[in-house]
A and B are shown apart, each in its own frame.
Chain A
C-alpha cells in the first residue's frame, strides 16, 4: 500500500470551494496571495525612497503618497493562510523542517531552482494581474473568461516546461 498522509483531495477541494464561497458571500471578493507579496515589496521600497515609488505608476498605485501598501485585506488573508497551514500541519504531525525535491538533485540545487521558479512566477503573476488563487480558483469559479484563459496558459506553460526540468522532480 502506498502511504498517503494527506486527506482525500476531493474533500480538501470541497472545503476550499466552501471557503471561497464564504469570501464571495461575506465580502464580495475572491482570495489572492500574490497581491500581498507585491504589497510587501512596495512597503520596503517605500521605506527606501518614497520619491521612487511616487514616480512609478505601478508602485504608486500601491504605495504612492500617503498610501500604506500593507493596510489592505489581502495582507490579513495571507497571514490567515499561514496560520491555517500551520494548524493543519500541526494537527497531522507534518511540521517538519525539510526540503521536498526529486531524487536526482541536491538540496542546495533545489533551493536555487525554487528561487528561480519563484522569481519567474512572481513576474508572470504581476503581468497577468493574478496568481493561481485569485485567477485560477476564484476566477475559475466565477466563470470569468479572462481568468480561464490565464489558467489554461499556466497549465500549458508548466506542461511544456516539465520535460526540460524533469531532473528536478523525477
Chain B
C-alpha cells in the first residue's frame, strides 16, 4: 500500500498545494480540450444535439473508476482513505434538481465556467458572478433551514458506496457502469447523427 501518497509520506502542506495546482491544470486543460469551456456545447447536451458532456463525463468516470478498482485490487491504494463529502439524501436531491435547472439556463457548471472564463467567454464571467451571488444567498439563508440541510444522512459515517448498499462486489458494479456507459456512447452517436442528417436535409430543402 503506498497511496494516497500524501497520507503515507507526511507530505508538506506547500507540496500538497503545489500538486493541487498542477492537478488543476490537467483538469482545466482536458475540460477545454473536450469543448466543455463552451456553454453552447454544454447546453446542446440537453437537446440531444451535442452529447459531448455525456461522452467526456462518462469516459472520465469509467477511467477513474477502473483505475481505482485496479489499484485497490493490487493493494497499492487504500480506497477507504479517500475523502468523500458526506451524503445527505434530501438536500442532495433538491440541490441536484436546482443545479440541473441552473445548468440548462446558464449553460455552465462551476468548473467549466472557470475554463470558459480562461478562454475569454463573456457569458462565463456573468455565470461566475451569478454563482458567487447564489452562494452568498445560500450562506446567508442556510441558518433558517438548517434542519433540512442536515436531513437524510445516508450512512453512519456519512457515505456509502453503491456496492456496499446493494451488497454487490465492486467489480460487478463497475461492470454494470461500463455497460451503461457504452450503451450511452452508442446512443449518443446515433442521436447526434439523427440531428446532423436532419440539419443537412433542411439545408437542401
Contacts and interface: CB of A to CB of B under 8 A. Distances in A.
The answer to whether A and B belong to the same complex is yes
Interface of A: 2, 6-7, 9-34, 37-38, 40-42, 45, 56-59, 73-74, 76-89, 92, 94-102, 107, 110-162, 165-166, 168-170
Contacts of B99: 120-121, 124-125, 128, 131-132, 150, 153-154, 157
Contacts of B25: 80-81, 83-84, 87
B135 A41 contact: yes
Interface in B159-205: 159-163, 165, 170, 173-174, 177, 185, 196
Interface of B: 3-7, 16-41, 43-47, 49, 52, 55-65, 67-68, 71, 76-77, 79, 81-89, 91-124, 126-140, 142-143, 146, 149, 154, 159-163, 165, 170, 173-174, 177, 185, 196
B199 to A, nearest CB: 9
Given A114-B106, A168-B105, A80 B23 contact: yes
Nearest to A146: B87
A122 B131 contact: yes
A149 B167 CA distance: 17
A83 B117 CA distance: 10
Given A16-B30, A99-B121, 6 more contacts: A12-B34, A22-B26, A100-B39, A129-B91, A129-B95, A141-B68
Contacts of A99: 121-123
Contacts of A86: 28, 118-119
A139 B84 CA distance: 7
A58 B146 CA distance: 9
A80 B28 contact: yes
A79 B17 CA distance: 11
B109 to A, nearest CB: 4
A32 B84 CA distance: 11
Contacts of A113: 105-106
Contacts of A82: 24, 28, 114-115, 117-118
A145 B110 contact: no
